A and B are shown apart, each in its own frame.
Chain A
Amino acid sequence: MKLTRKAAPVALATTLALTLAACAQSDRGSSSSSKSSGSGGNVKDTITFGAAGAPELFDPFYATDGETFRVTRQMMEGLVGIKPGTADIQPELATSWEASADGKEWTFKLRNGVKFWDGEAFNAAAVCYNMDRMFDQNEVAQGGPAGYWSDVMGAFKSDAKNALYQSCSAKDDMTAVIKISRPTSKFPTALSLDSFSMQSPKALKAGDANNVTKQGEGFGYPAYSKNPVGTGPYKLGKYDEANKTVTLVRNDDYWGEKAKTAKLVFKIIPDESTRRQELEAGSIDGYDLPNPADWKGLKDAGNKVLVRPAFNILYVGLNPAHNPKLKDLKVRQALYYAMNRDQLVKTQLPEGATVATQFMPETVSGYNKNLKPYPYDPEKAKSLLKEAGAEGMTLLFAYPSEVSRPYMPNPQKIYEALRADLEKVGIKVQVNTKPWNGGYLDTVDNGGYDAWLLGWTGDYNSADNFIGTFFANLKENDFHTKATSYGPQLSKDLQAADAIVDETQRNAAYERINQQIQEDYLPGLAISHSPPALVVSPKMNGLVPSPLTAETFSSVTVSK
């Protein structure tokens, strides 16, 4: 074939286009074109929810972030579940459980008639396969991705003697026995964590689920992580990475009450104000973590702001090793008395925020109801400073920039309020700030500040997850309690309380410790608890806000 110079490129382009068109077949499902999907009536067959970030992967075991769990929670279930709207546990895939007298052997009765989507039966063998799979991680996974197992169980199979988890065995087909090395308050509550969801052994095996690798400066996950199999009310439909949407579809074989809406779409919109605009334009039905400053405007526009019970704590950390003046209890108390926290909560924190009386919110078992907040008393603060010979002391006090956390929506404003209070009683505040990921957390960890703003959002309902995290590890904690007279005792008491098998006795022990922390030790200053919120359009019904941000969508409907 002879072509003129001008015709050649045209011919080439035409051929290319034709070839591409020939191999480009529309692969739309027939269901999407016919929009009637049975549910009919006046509810939509799709819920569209605005998420702030993309899920990392779909195997929750290797995840530690809320965006991943928001998706996997709809698809996976654990032995232990969470009662909607609370932080309390309830039966899920296990119908009941009991501990041996020494608290080291836990027997779980399993729910009958549950199947994974791939048809595999859920039974004791499946439970033990999952537990052993989580226990037996390679070195790379141990270093980072298996974060919640590290947190809760301490170690993996390669270091079995230091692990909380010991073994799992099937007593009979529907009874699993899990043995742990010591009694702990984490059990069985921690099993409600999304990371410990039950997944199909067959699919885990087929997808080489444990094969986490190091890829450059990141981690590589096996095929399974894109193609998970669980027992939940929804299953994974499609993850359209290019269009940043995750579509879940109803699991019609679900053992419990089936999902009310056939399709659940998570649209990933990283920018907060764009999420708000999408809601206003009606293209999403709700989104997470609206800026507290927007709550009123959103409500005025008819939307529902669903406020979650606060499950967090904002504190001012203190490091006596960096500023010896802080070793004196009177000085620490003076800082506390100097702070007008009622004012702070009213002016800088979202509606529903409360002044903290201890290092945990009241939803956590072990919370001491009798404790009263340190009142705002600048005169007392001044006299305490005088007694301690610390009048006019300087304090290197820092806050993070480029971050917003549920417990601290606007760090700078909170900081400015506290700083003004401290300066009123004559303390010279040395201001310091660094970006959250740009050195702030590193400096806190390395003990580089006298005082700093930080906080914590609980993972599950246990006092250990709050005060245990802060003070139980004497060797290394941000508060440097090893440099204090009370640190070793506090650490010992916390470990002893964690090991009490009887719940009532254990809670009493934690209440005692909370009182000691506030009245005798004061390792840091617990400031406040702030409730994070979700916002949904007036048409959405049935979404129950969860203190653990563990909302499920199976009961949600959106009217047309």
Chain B
Amino acid sequence: MLRFILRRLLQMVGVVIVLSLLVFLWLRSLPGGTVSAILGEKATPARRAALEKALGLDQPIYVQYWEFVKRALKGQFGSSTGVLPGSDAFQIFLQRFPATVELSFFAIILAVLLGIPLGYMAARRRATWFDNGTVVGSLIGVAVPVFFLAFLLKYWFAIKLHWLPVSGRQDPGLDATRVTGFFVVDGVLTREWDAAWDAIKHLILPALALATIPFAVIFRITRASVLDVMDEDYVRTAESKGLTNRVIRGRHILRNALLPVVTTIGLQTGGLLVGAILTERVFSFGGLGEAVAIAFERRDYAVLQVCILMAAITFVVINLLVDIAYAVIDPRVRTR
């Protein structure tokens, strides 16, 4: 197990090196760039040249990359020029990351809490109205663009009904204390219950929007997987042995049916980062997605470099965790 984890971590280093080069080259091959974004109408050739020189963008690209690698090894990723100019790009990542994690976590929990039980029930009540209804529902969940759903939710629950806030992460009037950057956790830790509740209220709509696709996928995989497992010999054996329904359901059907579901959850969690870009924009939820979108518009190299690399690392780590979870659920994987 340890060797397996070590090997995966080594692979991660390779991924990061290759990706850093690709991102670096890609950003610099885009037309326009940081200098235009900063100067706007004020861009004259002289001002451009001065700014390029000040930013070191007049250097040959391999020199720039080498400088970048040297700094990155020391943990220095440079300053932002567009998202929060002058702030350290890595600090921006650290500040934005908890927001995205909090949102993704809520979304995936929602998706799992709804997707697995519903998927299981649909499979057990195969070809009933319940099954048909939930399958159609999940199809709609996959088909509706996140962006559109986010707008709909916001329109109804925030603007029309005033049940939930329109955007942001917390009411600034609460003047909440910051500890970890996870607003709900912070509220609990500092016993500022109103702040924690307010943060949850801000999470509901974006998390719902973000959860639809993973919910639909998890639901469908669970349903299909349970259907498969229900026909297995060992289930029939268990039934003929006279085991209680509870044991059959829990130990024999659900546990085995969950294997593909766990992989799916892992993949979907990675995919959430993409969905978060859209959702965060709609809800002005100050996470990574929003930062990356703004950074791209303003050609903020430092922030894009850090965020893309860290997102890749997160993706790899999530997959590693999924594999470990797999080993926990399925003993056969462990012995291999």
A, B in one complex: yes
Which one of B32, B38, B162 lies within 8 Å of A435 (CB-CB)? B32
Check A441–B32 contact: CB distance below 8 A: yes
Smallest CB-CB separation from A284: which chain B residue? B166
Q: Distance (Å) between the CB of B156 and the closest chain A CB?
A: 12
Q: How many interface contacts (CB-CB < 8 Å) are there between A and B?
A: 219
In the complex, B215 has a CB within 8 A of chain A: no
Fill in one digit per residue for B277-319: 1 if any A CB lies within 8 Å of its CB, else 0: 0000111101000100010011111100000000000000000
Fill in one digit per residue for B88-120: 1 if any A CB lies within 8 Å of its CB, else 0: 110000010011000000000000000000000
Bound-state CA distance A280–B154 (Å) is 12
Bound-state CA distance A243–B297 (Å) is 21
Bound-state CA distance A48–B171 (Å) is 11
Bound-state CA distance A240–B51 (Å) is 30
State which of A3-11, A26-34, A292-300, A414-422 sits at the interface with chain B.
A26-34
Fill in one digit per residue for B170-185: 1 if any A CB lies within 8 Å of its CB, else 0: 1111111111110100
Q: Distance (Å) between the CB of A363 and the closest chain B CB?
A: 19
For B173, list chain A residues within 8 Å (CB).
32, 46, 48, 265
Q: Distance (Å) between the CB of B57 and the closest chain A CB?
A: 7
Smallest CB-CB separation from B296: which chain A residue? A437
Report B63-89 residues with CB < 8 Å from chain A CB.
67-68, 71, 76-81, 83-89
In the complex, B45 has a CB within 8 A of chain A: yes
The verdict on A56 contacting B86 (CB below 8 Å), with A281-B162, A476-B44 known, is yes
In the complex, A139 has a CB within 8 A of chain B: yes
Bound-state CA distance A241–B189 (Å) is 20
In the complex, A151 has a CB within 8 A of chain B: yes
Check B168–A267 contact: CB distance below 8 A: yes
Which one of B167, B183, B286 lies within 8 Å of A277 (CB-CB)? B167
Smallest CB-CB separation from B64: which chain A residue? A217
Which one of A29, A64, A216 lies within 8 Å of B68 (CB-CB)? A216
Check B169–A247 contact: CB distance below 8 A: no
Check B85–A439 contact: CB distance below 8 A: no
State which of A76-84, A117-125, A140-148, A389-397 sits at the interface with chain B.
A140-148
Check A143–B50 contact: CB distance below 8 A: yes
Smallest CB-CB separation from B304: which chain A residue? A217
Check B177–A281 contact: CB distance below 8 A: no
Bound-state CA distance A434–B31 (Å) is 9
In the complex, A438 has a CB within 8 A of chain B: yes
For A23, list chain B residues within 8 Å (CB).
179
In the complex, B56 has a CB within 8 A of chain A: yes
Interface of chain A: mostly helix, strand, loop or mixed = mixed
In the complex, A225 has a CB within 8 A of chain B: yes
Fill in one digit per residue for B25-69: 1 if any A CB lies within 8 Å of its CB, else 0: 000001111101111111111111011011111000000000110
Smallest CB-CB separation from A68: which chain B residue? B85
Check A445–B43 contact: CB distance below 8 A: yes
For A277, list chain B residues within 8 Å (CB).
154-155, 158-159, 166-167
Bound-state CA distance A473–B300 (Å) is 30
In the complex, B131 has a CB within 8 A of chain A: no
In the complex, A270 has a CB within 8 A of chain B: yes
Check B36–A437 contact: CB distance below 8 A: yes
Smallest CB-CB separation from A222: which chain B residue? B86
For A1, list chain B residues within 8 Å (CB).
none
Bound-state CA distance A440–B168 (Å) is 33
Smallest CB-CB separation from A31: which chain B residue? B175
Check A243–B86 contact: CB distance below 8 A: no
Smallest CB-CB separation from A59: which chain B residue? B86
Check B41–A442 contact: CB distance below 8 A: no
Bound-state CA distance A241–B33 (Å) is 25
Fill in one digit per residue for A183-198: 1 if any B CB lies within 8 Å of its CB, else 0: 0000000000000000
For B45, list chain A residues within 8 Å (CB).
445, 476
In the complex, A215 has a CB within 8 A of chain B: yes
In the complex, A220 has a CB within 8 A of chain B: yes
Taking A144-B51, A243-B286 as known contacts, 19 extra A-B pairs with beta carbons closer than 8 A to each other, sorted by chain A number, are A139-B54, A140-B54, A144-B54, A147-B42, A150-B47, A151-B42, A216-B78, A217-B79, A217-B302, A218-B86, A218-B302, A270-B290, A274-B166, A274-B167, A274-B283, A277-B167, A434-B31, A437-B297, A438-B30
5 sample A-B contacts, Cβ–Cβ < 8 Å, listed by A number = A54-B83, A215-B88, A219-B81, A243-B170, A440-B32
Q: Enumerate the 5 nearest inter-chain pairs by beta-carbon distance, A residue then B residue, closest first.
A: A216-B78, A143-B54, A218-B79, A439-B31, A215-B79
